[in-house]
Structure 1
């Protein structure tokens, strides 16, 4: 799945991407900290929606709070599983919560995402930074929903969102090659399908047409980076998205190594 995204720019890049975008006055987002955003930190993140014909940039928290999470205990127990939505369930699974909120569509602006690769014989997974070629920013389609209960501290009715994933293309299968949700990737779309996703009158057939798109592997650029989920600084002092040369890292498609690597023990 995709639990790590990056936005290494500023709000002007988002405003230029979508004409007539209205920025919510409550948006107070630290773009300097957005080079790595983790899903289950449940931080607010700028998300685009179509609200009655007006494109708005809203501060929503990553991780949907569904209607059945009607107590703080249920939210704590179940929200962790609501950060990604499988594309296959949005139209075709009539029991899925994602189908129920399919009209609440949003776009998540990013400059790239991170995914982790397993290598046999290595204790730690190797993170990769992935982005679309020739596009300084792109948007991942998602769904949003407002919490059924107010925040216990602020009384706020939170806007929350999930990021949509699909089966991986050939390159992403080699990167996201392990774990309980192996061989999946975020929905990457051409710009025209991103905007189509926000059309308020989109039919189920139209939704499915968007979800059926698979980004060709040759449209992706990717490289290994230093660990992103550690407070330990990079040995080369470069930023998180910069390429990192792991000693004896086998090429993609070869996932066995006779030499165990653990830089963090």
Structure 2
């Protein structure tokens, strides 16, 4: 059975881009006679707000977009993330990193890729020091080179009927957890997709670059391999991205202006956007 998911962060009210992503996830699920799950990405407790969680439910009800099964809250799943991280640690696939962001930026030898500066590997290969970990802030990084060797090479994934291949440049020693965050987006995403039985990941094309490392984690942790659908992004007509920090028009504001939510959702499923907006491939 096909299972998709919508996983918003409760750090502000939803906007039209969120509505489009939820509509695409629901459309894909219903077209296959499947289900859509709802997950609340509230790991960032410093920015997540209970009122925004309620706002997500309110906005989805207004759109007529329902979900199947119980809502999963990532803030309640620290034990599952810790278990996944420990499995990687036992196999020597992660290492503690004590570098600050300033340390990394100052490493002149750090190469740059599509996502910016790669981590220069400062802490990779150092003996683990539990005493230091007990007294100093640190993160846990994936040893990408070793992980690829253990996985048997570069992972592939299926997207809209095509088999896509990753390249070595797609991998970095990404952070999987920090003292103030039990899991990064990558680790939480793959563990929770597996827990919710997600078989088709529907999300914005700006997250396509996350797929190689997430496929690698799925293989390392023995998790199921979903298919992927990365849709275009909703932008303003001039190409500017919608973002909470840029005060993009919220669904709550559209509702107050008298917009019919169910009609809007139907139009989004047909990829027909309101005036002033368009669908854009990220550059």
Q: By the TM > 0.5 criterion, same fold?
A: no
Query: Which TM-score bucket, shorter chain as reference?
Result: under 0.3
Q: When you count strand as a share of all residues, which structure comes out higher? A: 1
TM-score normalised over the length of structure 1: 0.27
Task: Compare relative contact order (CA 8 Å, sep 6+) and give the higher one, 1 or 2.
Answer: 2
Q: When you count helix as a share of all residues, which structure comes out higher? A: 2
